[in-house]
Structure 1
Amino acid sequence: MAAQGRVLVVTGASRGIGAAVARQAGAAGWHVAVHFAGQAVAADKVVADIRAAGGTAAAFQAEIADPAEVASLFAAVDRTLGPLGGLVNNAGIIGGRFPVLEPEAGALERVLAVNVAGTYHAMTEAARRMATSRGGAGGAIVNLSSIVSRTGGLPQETHYAASKGAVDSLTLGLARELAPEGIRVNAVRPGIIATDIHDVHGGAEFLAGFGPQIPAGRPGTPDEVASTVLWLLSDAAAYVTGALFDVGGGR
């Protein structure tokens, strides 16, 4: 699947890994739909960066946990950029930190709504457009999971780890279901990556302290994760589906 001129939706693309994926995709020739929930200024900056580099992009707002808004998002992408060729499910939240003995009311439900239901709804909308049985040309879906799906997560974040375990299951199951439709489904599982999602842990201080515990000796960068995502979207990965790729520096 050549990227040139094909449309790619990247959810949660206003910052961090999503922004890195969007910029690399734009440079590779994808027409990029930069999804955001509330960071309009940051999303517009990502779009501006892609356009300045000669690419095509537009920003789209939606609450990823709301299936009606997800449907409206994809309809808007259809009108603005054209037929869909790929989806990167990056939008996600940690949902705070709390011990299981004293859970925060509604926190688990919110994490599952964004990280699991949001991923599922976006995959549904994308698959409807790309399925060959519905006149689509096939395509690729990459879900951003996490290595916490196999480690259980950091202390007081098992709710987040559980949501990423569900993303792994969605990836494996839908890879098999959608393969006959010409759609590949894979997941990338980052480890500790230097983004602001770790502000909940203490930000730069946490990253500096955790780095020596990683076999590679440091946190990863958003671009290092994005490079794996772009490979999975490309023709170079044409026979890869139902795979879970760890990008964690050896953790």
Structure 2
Amino acid sequence: MRTLVTGGTRGIGAAVALRLARDGHDLVLGYASDDRAAEETRLAVEDTGVSCHVVRADLTEPESVDRLFAEAGALTGVVNNAGATLHLGPLAQTPPEVIAATVDLNLTAALLVARAAVRALGTSYGGGGGVLVNISSGAATLGSPGEYVQYAAAKAGVDAMTLGLAQEVAGDGVRVVGVAPGIVRTTIHADAGEPGRVDRVGPLVPLGRAGEPHEVADAVAWLMSDEASYVTGTTLRVAGGR
């Protein structure tokens, strides 16, 4: 098994990489800019006994997506994980360029990665079949009012992509599934300007706490396994009941 994880060197992506490594996946990890995190994650993955290659790529550029997949080589799975909220605040107070950048990263780039994944995995393109997991967000159905409506809207688009693409490529040997995390303890909130958001929102979840990255990674690993061989076109919510 050889799997590509975009945004695979920090947060949920890094947890997914380590979980898949324990299942025996050789890994290719795409990342945007944090070279130190990329090296640390690569070493941690290789410590499990599998191979790991890291590739720095800007997924908002189609040619970078093509380069990432070219470097990845033959694949059996793709985890379409890269994303960020970029901003916190009401939509009316969000600069247009931030809205555009949010949609570009969280939806347009995800579509480009999904397109490349089908071309890498699909039997009609010479692939051997496989699994594409799209990382969505609980925000897609909650709307995230007052915080990041534009991010929620982009992730709702990812959910629609999962449903439609799964039907489109079901005969091509590719399962397409999604995972929608809720509030999870990563740096995504600090990166957007509110480092205390996990502690603020976590207690409001029915289970009474924020999730941990490994809990999302376990869901991804199951969806990529043969145990989920009859699962496609659906998004699994990992959000503590919210």
Query: Under a length normalisation based on structure 2, what TM-score does the superposition of the two structures give?
Result: 0.96
Residue equivalent to 2:115? 124
Unaligned runs of 5+ in 2: none
Residue equivalent to 2:205? 214
CA contact (8 A) 2:78 2:131 kept: yes
CA contact (8 A) 1:34 1:59 kept: yes
Cα distance between partner residues in 1 of 2:106 and 2:197: 23
CA contact (8 A) 1:15 1:42 kept: yes
Select 1:202's aligned residue among 194, 197, 201. Answer: 194
SS of residue in 1 equivalent to 2:27 = strand
Cα distance between partner residues in 1 of 2:145 and 2:184: 14
Residue equivalent to 1:113? 104
Question: Which one is further off, 92-101 or 63-72?
Answer: 92-101
- Deviations, residues 125-175 of structure 1 (Å, cap 9, x unaligned): 111121112221100000010111111015231001000000001110000
Segments ≥4 residues shifted beyond 6 Å: none
1:4-19 equivalences under 5 Å are 6-19=1-14
The count of residues paired between Structure 1 and Structure 2 equals: 241
The answer to whether structure 1 residue 168 and structure 2 residue 168 are counterparts is: no
1:1-251 equivalences under 5 Å are 6-78=1-73, 83-199=74-190, 200=192, 202-203=194-195, 205-251=196-242
Percent of aligned pairs with the same residue? 38
Unaligned runs of 5+ in 1: 1-5
- 1:43 partner amino acid: A
Q: CA RMSD in A?
A: 1.1
Residue equivalent to 1:3? none
SS of residue in 2 equivalent to 1:41 = helix
* Offset, 1:201: 5.3
SS of residue in 1 equivalent to 2:96 = coil
CA contact (8 A) 1:149 1:165 kept: yes
Cα distance between partner residues in 1 of 2:222 and 2:232: 12
- Deviations, residues 9-58 of structure 1 (Å, cap 9, x unaligned): 10001110000001111111111001101011101111100111212111
SS of residue in 2 equivalent to 1:215 = coil
Cα distance between partner residues in 2 of 1:8 and 1:88: 7
Cα distance between partner residues in 2 of 1:77 and 1:56: 12
SS of residue in 2 equivalent to 1:97 = coil
Cα distance between partner residues in 2 of 1:130 and 1:243: 19
